[in-house]
Amino acid sequence: MNNNGNTNAGMGLHSNSQGFDKAFLEQLQDVYDAETQLLTALPKMQQAASSQKLKQIFQQHLQVTERQRQRLEQVFQAIGQPAEAKTCPAMRGLIKEAEEIMQKQGQDPEVLDAALIGAAQKVEHYEIATYGTLRTWAQVLGHQQAITALEATLEEEKQADQLLTSAAEHNINQRAAES
């Protein structure tokens, strides 16, 4: 957004901006895949959760994730690029961790819920980092429509993280009350 006052800024900005546009596009393709992966992971996590509150959070965030995926398609369109996904290995890993948690047998339901919340928060934090970066790059590159869309998604990811934190507190309190 701000010109950095460098006397080479004119030439520097021009020659770097193509590299940055490419990096921006690659990050978009990565998170487009990440959101798509989540569309299949969240229903499994919803099913594995015991508490109704947590099930509801996963259900709600599934709907939010569908909208976020569509919002990314609008961002691709706004920058004149086709909506293409490029595998996000980080989300693969995060989902794999969630799957390992769900595959463990004979778990105390409240411990399982706590572990699922932790896995989901790792996902949200990854998304917060990604959308924060993309939003800043969109500002620097002057992609106005993209800024608004990425900012909206960033706020939704932060909200999801907060909901998960309150679910974790509720889960622990419940356990304390029962023992």
Binding range to Zn ion, per CB under 5 A, among 73-81, 89-97, 105-113, 159-167: 89-97
Q: Quickly list H helices, the chain.
A: 9-48, 52-78, 89-103, 109-141, 144-178
In angstroms, rounded to a whole number, what is the distance separating the alpha carbons of residues 47 and 54? Answer: 10
Which residues within the stretch 110-149 sit at the binding site for Fe ion (CB under 5 A)? 127
Helix axes 109-141, 89-103, angle to 10 degrees: 170
Residue 124 contacts Zn ion per CB under 5 A? no
Q: Is 68 in the site for Fe ion (CB under 5 A)?
A: yes
68 binds, among Fe ion, Zn ion, none (CB under 5 to 8 A by kind): Fe ion
N-terminal to C-terminal alpha carbon distance within the chain: 55
Instruction: Tell me the two tokens of residue 16.
Output: 């770097």
Which entry of Fe ion, Zn ion, none binds 157, CB below 5 to 8 A by partner kind? Fe ion
30 versus 113: smaller Cβ distance to Zn ion: 30
The option from Fe ion, Zn ion, none interacting with 33 (CB < 5 to 8 A, set by class) reads none
Q: Does 33 bind Fe ion (CB under 5 A)?
A: no
Among the candidate windows 30-38, 68-76, 77-85, 112-120, which touches Zn ion by CB under 5 A?
Answer: 30-38
DSSP letters for 124-176 = HHHHHHHHHHHHHHHHHHT-HHHHHHHHHHHHHHHHHHHHHHHHHHHHHHHHH
The correct pick among 24, 28, 29, 30 for binding Fe ion (CB under 5 A) is 30
CB neighbour class for 85 (10 Å; exposed up to 12, middle 13-18, buried from 19): middle
Q: Is 34 in the site for Zn ion (CB under 5 A)?
A: yes
Choose the binding region for Fe ion from 2-10, 16-24, 98-106, 150-158 (rule: CB under 5 A): 150-158
Residues contributing to the site for Zn ion (CB under 5 A): 30, 34, 88, 90
Residues contributing to the site for Fe ion (CB under 5 A): 30, 65, 68, 88, 90, 127, 157, 160
